[in-house]
Structure formats: C-alpha cells, structure tokens
C-alpha cells in the first residue's frame, strides 16, 4: 500500500532532509520534525517547489523532550487523519573514547540515538496499534554490526541497540498490518560523518538516500545501503580482528 502521510524526525539536515525531498517527488504528505526550525522552513520552501500538491507540516521538536514527541505525533495524526509511516531518523554523533573526559557528549549521543528513538517508536506504535496499520522505520547503521573505537564507540553501540529494539518490535508485530523496517546506512556524506576522515566506500547523500527510500518503499525487514559493499560487509565486519578495527576512527 502507498504510505501517504509520513513523519520524519531529524529532517533539518542530512538523511532526513534529503529523504523529505525524495518523498516529495513521490507525492507524499510530510510531517517534518527537528530542533532547527529555520532549516525546516527552508526545506518546506524547497519541497513546495518540488511538488506544490502535497501537504507539509513543519514542527520544532527536540526528540529528547519525550512528552513533546508523543504530543507532536498525536497532533499530526489528528491533523492528517492517519499517520502511515514514521521514520525514526533523528540522531547525533558526538563523543570520544570513554574515560577521556567526554561523558557529557557520550551520554547525549546515547540519550538522543537510543532513548529518544525509543520514545519515537512508542509514540508511533500507539498510533499504529489504534489504526491497525502503519510502517515504522528506524535508521540504524552498518556500525551496529561491530564495536568501534574512539568517537564511534558510543554511536555504534546506540545503533546496535536500535537495531535490536526494532527487531524485537518486528517479532512482536509479526503477521499484523503494522510493518517494521530497519535501515543500516553505510558511509553517507552528511553533517554527522563530515568530520570523520577514514570513510571507505563513501557516497553522497542524494545517492545514499535514493537507496534508502527504495528500501523503505519496498518495506523490507532489514536493508544495508547502498547494497554494495554493505550487504556483504555486514557479514565481514563481525569477523574482523580487533587490530583491524583499531584502524577505524
């Protein structure tokens, strides 16, 4: 079925911003959430130029304000009549090796990437269970497949956690009209990844998002994107020795 009314969190930049553009081209109505309202206003103008026939709602939202997450999702449902898909995309990549004085940044990454994602999943699924349909999408990462060092340490751990959480939700909702997808992007050039120097097989955000949107539209259970080389690397990463993993930062 076509998912007409779509919530995307973290839509002010990166994957969320570009996914919104691509869903606009497909004619979908969009509820776009992020902290940076000025960036959302700019995005709204761009989307209206792409497709003037769609409905667009922009909402200033900090996903770490969990009560507000539930409120925003419910109000969007009331306004649009139904919510057909929620893409849990908001995330950050702050932090450093543990024990080096960056607990605050590491905690912020853990809270934003996992606890806030949990709140978004809860809010989405309350709506989907009431409707008895919907499509939940979480954005994990290829880094979920192996522990990483340095700045990637906590980030990778949160992405492993969201992948596990989403798989559990999928099991819980098996054989129901509610579908659940986990997307594992590889290296895609966004604000989060920009500061990292060692990035093999990096693609630009538009190319990366095309493969993401394609997988989301197919409503697959799990997708590693772009398919090459990440569909293969998902099996290679867990087998790499720690001495090799130490080269990644």
User: Is 195's pLDDT higher than 50?
Assistant: no
135 close to 179: Cβ distance less than 8 angstroms: yes
Q: What is the pLDDT of residues 213-247, one digit of tens each?
A: 999 999 999 999 877 676 777 667 766 677 776 76
Tell me if residue 155 is catalytic: yes
Assign a CATH topology to domain 5-245.
Rossmann fold (3.40.50)
Could you tell me which residues are beta bridge partners of residue 210? none
pTM of the model: 0.91
Q: How confident is the model at residue 44 (pLDDT cuts 50, 70, 90)?
A: very high
Q: Which two tokens stand for residue 61?
A: 């939202």
Q: Which two tokens stand for residue 165?
A: 């959480």
Q: Which residue has the tokens 């998912």?
A: 3
Q: Where do the domains of the chain lie? A: 5-245
Report the alpha-carbon distance of residue 41 to residue 104 in Å, rounded. 30
Could you tell me which residues are beta bridge partners of residue 87? 8, 137
**Catalytic-role residue among 17, 102, 155, 235:** 155
Report the alpha-carbon distance of residue 25 to residue 67 in Å, rounded. 32
Q: What is the pLDDT of residues 68-98, one digit of tens each?
A: 999 999 999 999 999 999 999 999 999 999 9
CA 244 from chain center: how many Å?
Answer: 28
Compare 100 and 192 and report the one with higher pLDDT: 100
């Amino acid at each position: 079925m076509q998912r007409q009314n779509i919530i995307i969190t973290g839509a002010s930049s990166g994957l969320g911003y570009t996914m919104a553009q691509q869903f606009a081209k497909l004619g979908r109505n969009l509820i776009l959430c992020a902290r940076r309202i000025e960036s959302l206003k700019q995005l709204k103008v761009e989307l209206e130029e792409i497709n003037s026939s769609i409905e667009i709602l922009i909402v200033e939202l900090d996903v770490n304000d969990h009560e507000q997450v539930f409120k925003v999702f419910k109000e969007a449902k009331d306004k649009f009549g139904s919510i057909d898909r929620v893409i849990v995309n908001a995330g950050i990549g702050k932090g450093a090796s543990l024990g080096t004085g960056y607990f605050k940044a590491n905690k912020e990454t853990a809270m934003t990437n996992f606890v806030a994602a949990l709140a978004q999943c809860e809010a989405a699924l309350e709506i989907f269970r009431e409707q008895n349909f919907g499509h939940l999408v979480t954005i994990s990462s290829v880094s979920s497949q192996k522990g990483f060092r340095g700045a990637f340490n906590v980030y990778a751990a949160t992405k492993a956690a969201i992948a596990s959480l989403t798989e559990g939700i999928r099991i819980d909702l098996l054989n129901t009209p509610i579908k659940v997808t986990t997307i594992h992007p590889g290296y895609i050039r966004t604000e989060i990844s920009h500061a990292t120097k060692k990035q093999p097989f990096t693609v630009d955000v538009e190319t990366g998002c095309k493969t993401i949107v394609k997988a989301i539209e197919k409503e697959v259970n799990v997708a590693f994107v772009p398919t090459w080389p990440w569909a293969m690397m998902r099996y290679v990463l867990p087998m790499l020795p720690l001495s090799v993993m130490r080269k990644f930062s």
